[in-house]
Amino acid sequence: MSTPATSPSATPTPKPHEPATPVMAATSTAIVGLQWGDEGKGKIVNLLTDRHDAIVRYNGGANAGHSVVVKGERFALHLIPSGIMHADKPAIVGPGVVIDPEWLLKEVAGLRNRGVSCENLVISDHAHVVMPWHKLEDELREAFLSANSVEPIGTTRRGIGPCYADKAQRSTAIRVADLLRPKVLSQKLATIVPFKNAVLAAIARPGSTFVPYDHRTQLEQFAALGEQLRPFVTGASKLLLDMAHSGKSILFEGANATLLDVDHGTYPFVTSSTCSALGAPAGAGVPFTCVRSILGVMKAYSTRVGGGVMPTELINSDADRAIADGIRQRGREFGTTTGRPRRVGWLDLVAVRYSARLNGVHGLCLMLLDVLAGVDTLMVADRYEVDGSPTNTFVPDAHWLAGARPIYRSFPGFSADITAARTLGELPTQARTYMEFIEQTIGVPIRFVSVGPDRAQTIEC
Ligand code: IMP
């Protein structure tokens, strides 16, 4: 049934050569993380790229880290969409992404060294550029919070927040397009460099010597980076819009995750973009009706990096910490971006159910199930106790979350190595009971189960 917005009567008469409503592609899919990131989205994106015509990253920057294992080879990607491995499909860095050009070019060079051509990489000229002062400000802000006994956000120090802040400020922002126009870049830097020098000198750590940025050096460096980026900057917005309007299927690759969403995550311990599926159309630049299907990616347990409360964190006793250590080692739970050990906890279905509802997911991808092998008893929080009463409501606010105590259900664990399982029938009964509880609690079917890092180690349900 068509909605009023797309019904012929509600739509202005389109010109014959330029329809105003897109031809729907039944298979356009958004892939989003349902926890605090690092759920394994890269693997699912890589798997589903075959079924789509293009892949687009719509948010975040080099703070994201996607590991993709292809034929036993591990690729760690930060800015480049995981779909880059499929040379015949455009892998697009959308306008909602913030780009550190040096980082991106390093990633391209690394991929090329390993035989990935990157000919299919397309960068939006409207994406914003992370400048050196963004990274410095990120660092200084975190240091300021620590020095004033305030819990820092625990950012990746990649300049993400300050870059998005400048995007909102406008007059101190630089877009990729500006790097390709030296005159414009020079004019912009003439205002931005002194402004940033003044601000940074004022907030620099006491006793540290802040070395002011030089307009000319920055101009030379970023104009040169622009030239290197130029072959990839080919009107991503038009390309995406044309694809959307001609019924091509687009895979929207979410970075970071729903609980880190700037509006809907555990604020203020979040990142600075809309990383839920709600950000996909805006960050890619296509009508929201193009996002036809939404897959939520979740681990079989919880992890988090950086600051902020994590109600089910395994931290309260030596026994808890030993379980967390085991999961951390088996699941390689160390940041792809910063190498930080990730905080580990039991599965929190209060949080995942919230994320699933916010995104409106159609299916779940349950990742890293194999990592739980050997844990005697699996605990799952399906309610919190807040102010003495049980609730299954999740409030995306760090202060509220600090008062939430998880209420657990326990499930018998499984000891068998399941990394070779390729059908649901090959999974131990205990694993299937665990999965059924997840499906029932969230009310959404599991579509994929991942039992190892390789794309072959996947069960499609
Ligand atoms: P920022 O994005 O660097 O500003 O960091 C803000 C918060 O989000 C920090 O707690 C980071 O650790 C976290 N974060 C950002 N990106 C990711 C990600 O891709 N995975 C996990 N945590 C992330």
The confidence score (pLDDT) of residue 9 equals: 38
What gap in Å lies between CA 181 and CA 147, rounded to an integer?
A: 41
Tell which atom from ligand 1 comes closest to the C-alpha of 64. 19
Atom 9, ligand 1: residue with shortest CA distance: 155
User: How close is the Cα of 78 to the center of ligand 1, in Å?
Assistant: 12
| Residue with token string 């004033």 | 148
The confidence score (pLDDT) of residue 15 equals: 55
Residues of the chain with pLDDT under 50: 1-12
Atom 12, ligand 1: residue with shortest CA distance: 306
User: How close is the Cα of 407 to the center of ligand 1, in Å?
Assistant: 27
Q: Per DSSP, which regions of 355-443 are E strands? A: 363-367, 377-386, 389-391, 404-412
User: How close is the Cα of 337 to the center of ligand 1, in Å?
Assistant: 9
Contact 362, 295 (CB under 8 A): yes
What residue ranges define each of the domains in the chain, with the CATH number in brackets?
A: 29-126+235-460 (3.90.170.10), 128-231 (1.10.300.10)
Atom 1, ligand 1: residue with shortest CA distance: 155
What gap in Å lies between CA 148 and CA 372, rounded to an integer?
A: 39
The confidence score (pLDDT) of residue 13 equals: 54
What gap in Å lies between CA 286 and CA 358, rounded to an integer?
A: 20
17 labelled catalytic? no
User: How close is the Cα of 332 to the center of ligand 1, in Å?
Assistant: 17
| Per annotation, catalytic residue among 50, 52, 53, 66 | 66
Query: What's at 73, amino acid-wise?
Result: E
Among 425, 99, 143, residue whose Cα is nearest residue 236: 99
Tell which atom from ligand 1 comes closest to the C-alpha of 306. 10
Contact 118, 81 (CB under 8 A): no
**Substitution site in 156, 166, 310 for ligand 1 pocket (most atoms within 8 Å of beta carbon):** 156
Tell which atom from ligand 1 comes closest to the C-alpha of 156. 3
The confidence score (pLDDT) of residue 14 equals: 52
Please name the residues in contact with 433: beta carbons below 8 A apart, sequence gap of 6 or more. Answer: 411, 412
The confidence score (pLDDT) of residue 362 equals: 97
Which DSSP state fits 34? S
User: How close is the Cα of 341 to the center of ligand 1, in Å?
Assistant: 13
Residues with CB under 6 A from ligand 1: 36-38, 63-65, 153-156, 158, 160-161, 255-256, 260, 269, 271-272, 305-307
- CA-based end-to-end distance of the chain: 27
**Substitution site in 260, 336, 340 for ligand 1 pocket (most atoms within 8 Å of beta carbon):** 260
362 labelled catalytic? no
What gap in Å lies between CA 84 and CA 255, rounded to an integer?
A: 15
Instruction: For helices 182-203 and 132-147, give the axis angle rounded to 10 degrees.
Output: 20
The confidence score (pLDDT) of residue 11 equals: 46
**Substitution site in 305, 344, 367 for ligand 1 pocket (most atoms within 8 Å of beta carbon):** 305
User: How close is the Cα of 105 to the center of ligand 1, in Å?
Assistant: 22
Q: Find the farthest-apart pair of alpha carbons in the chain and give their distance in angstroms, rounded.
A: 69
The confidence score (pLDDT) of residue 10 equals: 43
- Per-residue 3-state assignment (H helix, E strand, C coil) for 45-62: HHHHHHHCCEEEECCCCC
